[in-house]
Structure 1
Amino acid sequence: MKGLVSSPVPRIPELLHRTLFRTFSLLGPRAQGKVLHRYFDWWHRRPDPWSLATDSYERRKYRATLDQLPEGTYARILEVGCAEGVFTQMLAMTWPDAGITGLDVSERALGRARERASGDGARVRFVHADLLGYEERDRYDLVFCAETLYYIGRGDRLRRASERLRSLLAPGGVLVLVHPWPEAERLHGFIDGSPTVTKLAERVERDASRPYAVSVYRAGAGPSRPQMTSAVS
């Protein structure tokens, strides 16, 4: 995928944001978890702080993500980092018979997510936990992890988070990762190098200032080569 898209210079707020979370990743796992919980609760002191429900860029990204999915029946779906449940609501509308779980570190965000999903009954639930601390015996047919892995940190933590995502997949389950490009090459690297999943597709979208990659994997090794596309939003 290298060379398919240009890489604009990151904006100053984004550089500061990422520097902040690189600093957080130096903390121990428990301390980092507490800091992230407080940080995101602070951000969600007002509704929808990132305009996920109204921003046209976010809506295009959601649609591009769903367009990359292979056809199939997904009875159990997990969204890691669901925030206030905007994308969760889209998942509930797309798969009206699926059981859906949203996972996030902010209790404030989850409170609004539950209100948003109040009409979907018990099939949509939300859990207050981070990825590494989430305890779930069941496995999922479809797992989404978007704009989340750069909060985990580097090295061993990113490796453990990637292993956790793989472990949440049922046999034949599909994993979808969505992160900024070209940083996605690093963030998705442990999944790309895993012999236990097959990469089905990768799409790189170019936006005026925020390019991103959608990478799709299936649990289980396979000989097929992934479909790679580059598009302009």
Structure 2
Amino acid sequence: MAELPEHLHRAFFRMMSLLSPRGQGLFLRRYFDWWHRTPDPWRLGTDAYERRKYETTLGEVPGLPYRRILEVGCAEGVFTDVLVARFPSAEVTGIDISARALERARARTGRARFVHADLLSHGLEEGFDLVFCAETLYYVGRADRLRRASERLTGLLADGGVLVLVHPWPEAVSLHRFADSDPAVSLVARRVDTETRRPFAVAVYRRTGLNGRR
């Protein structure tokens, strides 16, 4: 079970999702710009736990050719940089709601494209072969917006495209439930790592076609 501060953190963002979508987006932009007033506030580039999570995540990705890759919630581009190295022939894009974080992401790697946008209102074209979304969905808040966020993620995929969701366990059961029930994708792998200080789950889905979406 998550510790009390994490429960309070989630409750706060559920409350913020009572705002209009525009109001919620504005709040999140300011919130994450505030966090990124100093570099790498969550130590994504130096923490051994984060490195383990990156390698575990990539170990679950099917060995398919990927031409276009998207990271949702890329922050300062630490994992984006890993993706660029792991898939050198792919076009890699990162999106994040914090303009300040993206400034550092662009300085970190010139081989990726970065877009200032949020998950619920981005204007990205679909057709990505591989989409990552990690440690992001709990900021969306209430169920209707979580459903919408999941639909936006699966809607970005090309036919046969792969979606990878990574979130704390067992909270991931709730956060991934709309992707689990989406007829446009099928679950191909799920791995739960409980041998870390903060257990997490990696869920991998593949788009099976455009028909059947509710």
**One-letter amino acid of the counterpart of residue 218, structure 1:** R
| Structure-to-structure mapping, 1:55-134, within 5 angstroms | 55-118=47-110, 120=111, 124-134=112-122
SS class of match (1:111): helix
CA distance in 2, matches of 1:50, 1:172: 33
CA distance in 1, matches of 2:69, 2:196: 31
CA distance in 2, matches of 1:207, 1:27: 37
Q: What's the CA shift for 1:38? A: 0.1
Give CA-to-partner distance per residue, 1:12-55, whole Å, 9 cap, x none.
33223212212111111100000000000000000000000000
The residue that corresponds to 1:189 in the other structure is 177
SS class of match (2:45): coil
The residue that corresponds to 2:167 in the other structure is 179
The residue that corresponds to 1:37 in the other structure is 29
Q: What's the CA shift for 1:154? A: 2.0
Aligned pair partner of 2:192 in 190, 194, 204: 204
**One-letter amino acid of the counterpart of residue 181, structure 1:** W
The residue that corresponds to 2:10 in the other structure is 18
Structure showing greater radius of gyration is: 1
SS class of match (2:30): helix
- Unpaired runs of 5+ residues, structure 1, are 1-8, 222-233
**One-letter amino acid of the counterpart of residue 144, structure 1:** F
Alpha carbons of structure 1 residues 100 and 19: separation in structure 2 relative to 1, 3 Å: same
Give CA-to-partner distance per residue, 1:141-164, whole Å, 9 cap, x none.
000000001111122111111111
The residue that corresponds to 2:19 in the other structure is 27
SS class of match (1:103): strand
Q: Is 1:136–2:128 an aligned residue pair?
A: no
**One-letter amino acid of the counterpart of residue 27, structure 1:** L
**One-letter amino acid of the counterpart of residue 88, structure 2:** P
**One-letter amino acid of the counterpart of residue 43, structure 2:** S
Q: Is 1:165–2:153 an aligned residue pair?
A: yes
Q: What's the CA shift for 1:207? A: 3.8
The residue that corresponds to 2:212 in the other structure is none
The residue that corresponds to 2:42 in the other structure is 50
Give CA-to-partner distance per residue, 1:105-137, whole Å, 9 cap, x none.
00000000000013x2xxx11000101111122
- Unpaired runs of 5+ residues, structure 2, are 210-214
CA distance in 2, matches of 1:16, 1:161: 22
The residue that corresponds to 1:218 in the other structure is 206
CA distance in 1, matches of 2:59, 2:9: 29
TM-score (norm 1): 0.87
Q: What's the CA shift for 1:208? A: 4.4
CA distance in 1, matches of 2:133, 2:6: 20
Give CA-to-partner distance per residue, 1:89-113, whole Å, 9 cap, x none.
0000001111011010000000000
Runs of 4+ in 1 over 2 A off after TM superposition: 9-13
Quote the sequence identity (%): 62
